[in-house]
Every structure is written in structure tokens, then in C-alpha cells.
């Protein structure tokens, strides 16, 4: 192969690989789900940026329904309280984020990916990463 072909073909091959389902997006969405869950368990406010509070469903509760009517000031307080309460509840149960294992992609389509992991109890936790307004964020968490 000529040098010219290699130089021209490499960017094309990289762009094709990045556009294939399950390549880079899958690992980054799985990583987003796992790191956001771990941050929530610690009560780390950095989780806030990765959660779509307007549509969030959390373990059977429609958080978005409660969140949407609030003013921006109240929303900021709500987000902080949600993260703090999540961590407190998690820690009161004696749970540890590192005991959630076997993180994997359960399903995906063009608008969302469902990431699953095994909880210490034997249940399967599902975290949905959705694409909305050009950004990928957590939109749901539930046990199956």
C-alpha cells in the first residue's frame, strides 16, 4: 500500500468505526452509567451534570414530574437534595457501589442505551442513558 493511500484511508476508517453501533458510544455510555451511579452513591454533586432530571425515573418514582414545575433556583436545591438523599439511603442500607458487578450493555437503539449490572442482592439494576438535545444523560434507574 502506498503512503498516500494509508494517509487518506486512516481518517475514513476511523470515522466509519466510530459511527458503528456498539463501538465507542457503547463503552462511553456504559462508563457514564457506572461513574454516575458511583458518584450518586458517594453523594458527589458531579453526578448532577450526567442526570436528566426533567425526565428522570428513579426506582419507580417519576422524579421529572416533581422537578419540572420548579423555578431554576428551586431546581438547583432539588438536584442537591436528590443526590444527598440518594447517598444517605444507599449508605444506610450498608451498600457499596463496588459490590455492583458485571456492568454490561443490555440493549441500545439510536436514542438510548440500557446498561445493566448485578446488585449484591442478586437483582439486576438497569440504568438508561438517553440522548436528548444532543447530550447523553441518565434518564432512568430501576431494578428488574
User: Which residue ranges make up each domain of the chain?
Assistant: 23-143
**96: which 3 cell numbers?**
457499596
pLDDT for 12 equals 32
Q: How far apart are CA 84 and CA 40, in angstroms?
A: 8
The residue length of the chain stands at 144
Domain 23-143 has CATH 3.40.50.300: no
What single-letter DSSP state applies at residue 59? T
Listed as own residue / partner, the contacts of 100-105 with beta carbons closer than 8 Å and 24 or more positions apart are: 100/37, 100/125, 103/30, 103/33, 103/34, 104/30, 105/22, 105/26, 105/29, 105/30
| pTM: predicted TM-score of the whole model, two decimal places | 0.81
Which residue did the predictor score with more confidence, 85 or 22?
Answer: 85
Lowest mean pLDDT among 10-14, 44-48, 52-56, 86-90: 10-14
Amino acid at each position: 500500500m502506498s503512503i498516500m493511500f494509508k494517509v487518506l484511508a486512516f481518517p475514513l476508517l476511523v470515522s466509519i468505526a466510530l459511527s458503528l453501533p456498539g463501538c465507542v458510544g457503547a463503552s462511553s455510555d456504559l462508563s457514564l452509567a457506572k461513574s454516575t451511579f458511583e458518584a450518586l452513591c458517594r453523594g458527589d454533586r458531579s453526578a448532577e451534570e450526567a442526570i436528566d432530571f426533567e425526565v428522570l425515573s428513579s426506582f419507580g418514582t417519576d422524579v421529572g414530574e416533581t422537578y419540572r414545575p420548579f423555578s431554576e433556583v428551586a431546581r438547583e436545591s432539588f438536584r442537591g437534595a436528590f443526590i444527598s438523599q440518594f447517598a444517605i439511603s444507599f449508605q444506610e442500607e450498608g451498600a457499596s457501589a463496588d459490590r455492583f458487578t458485571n456492568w454490561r450493555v443490555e440493549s441500545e437503539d439510536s436514542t438510548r442505551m440500557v446498561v445493566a449490572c448485578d446488585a449484591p442482592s442478586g437483582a439486576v439494576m438497569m440504568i438508561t442513558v438517553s440522548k436528548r438535545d444532543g447530550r447523553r444523560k441518565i434518564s432512568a434507574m430501576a431494578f428488574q
